[in-house]
Amino acid sequence: MTPLAYPFNRFTDLKLAQPYRHAQQAPGLLRIQMPIGAPAWLATRYDDVRLVLGDRRFSRSEAFRRDDSPRAFPRIAGGIVMMDPPQLTRIRSRAAQAFTRRRVEALRPHARDYAHQLIDRMLAAGPPADLVNDYALPLPLALICELLGVPVQDRDRFKVWNDSLLSTRPEDADQTQLHLGELAAYIKDLVAERRRAPRDDFMTALTQADEKGESLNEEQLLLLCIAILVAGYEGSASQIPNFIQVLLDNPAQWQQLKADPEQIPQAVEELLRYIPLASAAMFVHYALEDIQVGETLVRQGDAVFASIGAANHDPARFENPQALDLQRDASGHFGFGHGLHHCIGSALARVELQEALHALVVRLPSLQRCGDVQWKTATFFRGAHCLPVTWS
């Protein structure tokens, strides 16, 4: 079988590419060829993706021991997203102890107030506005910096660091390393400050020892903070305008939300299922032994990618998956991943997305696009770089 060239998704829309649907109709996993590295398998069905993401017989960290590791972008993603147990388990456990529901929900009033402040500014300036730079970017950035205890005057630096970490352009590699060093130094100073003067906040909770008297070292704290920054900022900043684009393309659903904003939490789950955020299945999983995945026997040492976007559109799991249905029970979607690498910041992201959408529905019900969308083209997440909007 000749491997198909991968990735499939385009950067200039939010649709699931047709080859994914063809793959779901064919037996077994799909053989693909990434731009870099050896051929690999691609899982597209819900049950197969669930297995690859959740089974400990697959390893992500093995990619660093391979010279021919397949990937879509020049550099292999690092940090906790590429770790395996037991190191991963320990870091995630510590994060869970700090990422309490109480602490996340305490940020909801801040999210709501800031969303309305941003809309106040848009209304005062008058239309048109750029929904990305005037709303979608500053809202989650403020929330994640509030969580980490970053002073207001330093928040623009965090945006620069985040954008650099997510760049996929080879020419940005040196700049990324420079910014990573700056971010590491900043986080190190934050940690030292919390250890000197503890507060009742998330960063202090991360630095404290667990019930066994163990605490994370500086490298582990840095990796965790980077993961939280990316998960709590970039994903939400991309999805807020994505949500609006999809809703404006489905006016009946938009009207439904305006008539009953209380549906927004359920609507957010369906939108997370419906929109394939990633430009590709980003993380390679190596089989540590022979594993049967659906109709394919994956041999020890084989590389497998798992497409979350395709799994969320599997008709065997979601009826009529190509349709946006805000009344759907979308529970079980993989919008935040699954298993060992389920998004650490999913609770925070839900707060951000729910409050961002609620404020727009209530304050700007006549919202509509008024110009060409400019798309991001050199990052892991798909979405608008600029989304001109107006209202009446």
Known catalytic residues are: 231, 234, 236, 343, 352
Q: What is the greatest pairwise CA distance in the chain?
A: 62
Count of helix runs (H) and strand runs (E) in the chain: 16, 13
In whole angstroms, give the CA distance from residue 296 to residue 291: 8
> Among residues 247, 207, 239, which one has the least CA distance to residue 354?
239
In whole angstroms, give the CA distance from residue 352 to residue 346: 10
Long-range CB pairs of 187-193 (<8 Å, 24+ gap) are 187/221, 187/222, 187/225, 187/226, 188/218, 188/222, 190/148, 190/149, 190/150, 191/218, 191/221
Which residues is 43 bridged to in the sheet?
306
Residue that has been written with the tokens 């190596």 in this structure: 286
